[in-house]
Amino acid sequence: MAFCASDSAGVGRGLLFPAAAAVLALVLVGANPSAACYPRVFSFGDSLADTGNYRFVYVNDTSAPVLRPPYGETFFHRATGRFSDGRILLDFIAEELGLPFVRPYLSGRSVEDFAFGANFAVGGATALGPAFFRARGFDIGDQVHLDMEMKWFRELLDLLCPGDLSACSDIMNQSLFMVGEIGGNDYNIPLWNRMPYKTVRTFTPSVIAKISSTITELIKLGAKTLVVPGNLPIGCVPSYLTTFKSNKKEDYEPDTGCIGWLNDFSRYHNKLLMKEIKKLRKRHPAVTIIYGDYYGAAMEIFLFPNRYGIDYPLVACCGGGGTYGISATAICGYGHYNVCGKPKQYGSWDGTHPTEATYKAIARGLLQGTYTQPPISTTTSSCAKLVELGSSTEYKALSDL
């Protein structure tokens, strides 16, 4: 299978693990831009999905490590604005759809720039706006948030269908929408700044409500197929393992070495999200809303890393050293940091974001497991018939990514 790997002017896709599940499986039969299940993809989210918007939002932050090597070294051989060493999961999705990497919205200007969709995700983005946090005594800064990303999306619709949004009905009902992963930073930033966990946990219903209202707005605009990812197991992330390092054995999961109470928090978020998705499905029976189980797909890697060729699942490839590959004095791309020789053997790239190898493993796990709800096989009526995973040449192509 040929891959569209050019990345001119910010061409790229960004975000989501479960989204991958849904799409990658939907298109196992192979596709090209003229015959793909979805002719375009629109993505919303944070650094797990950002393929280049960060540089345009924070134009004065020219020293940001993500904007220079070693970021991007594995696949693009240059920094592209992705928070990883190479491709992120939505890059794999675009490739499997037969689409070029979807352009970051802020790098485009014309209708032609968005022929295959747009990516609105920005590193550091939150679901909730800064006012929510300030009202609770915490200044999160002027972060990009879901309402802002939706504002950009409406501006894009005005560009694509000036003066008549109804003219965009085909664009809306034929496109795939990735709503997330989003919400992680609503917890990350306060927790890393030592806000009490019990306080941060109270944010979750509001985070879920914001994701739900965003989905509802997209549906009102005409979206028919949406993938909504859950949160990753944050207790397995090196930055969390370092920040909340404990001398208590019972704080850690015996099978993975991850911090148990943090993973419990991820499961709590995902449980509320799944309940909300169930409600949305009842309200909008003509719309397909797929839950992407990032947590389950990622846990396969932490439980059985050798299956994916990952030797150090809880360690960052790029950082300041230490037990988990990071330190308080050096971060990837800044200070006296270290870079491993083989990123594909590491679970984390910089202590917060996955390596390309991890994204690849999650994509494979989603396809082979049951990490999309409803099951992928029941959501393919508008696409070519799914081939058997075990014998298809296209599946082999995916495994060789």
Catalytic residues: 47, 350, 353
Q: What is the rounded distance in angstroms from the CA atom of residue 63 to the CA atom of residue 292? A: 34
Q: Which of 317, 352, 364 is nearest to 48 (CA)?
A: 352
Cα gap 273→262, rounded to integer Å: 17
**CA dist., res. 347 & res. 353, Å (int):** 9
Alpha carbon distance 174, 14 (integer Å): 19
- Which residues are 41's β-sheet partners? 117, 176
The closest of 18, 119, 28, 45 to 362, measured between CA atoms, is: 18
117 close to 102: Cβ distance less than 8 angstroms: yes
Question: What angle is formed at CA 46 by the lines to CA 353 and CA 203, rounded to 5 degrees?
Answer: 100
Give the span between the Cα atoms of 319 and 261, in whole angstroms: 25
Residue 41 and residue 13 in contact, taking contact as beta carbons nearer than 8 Å = yes
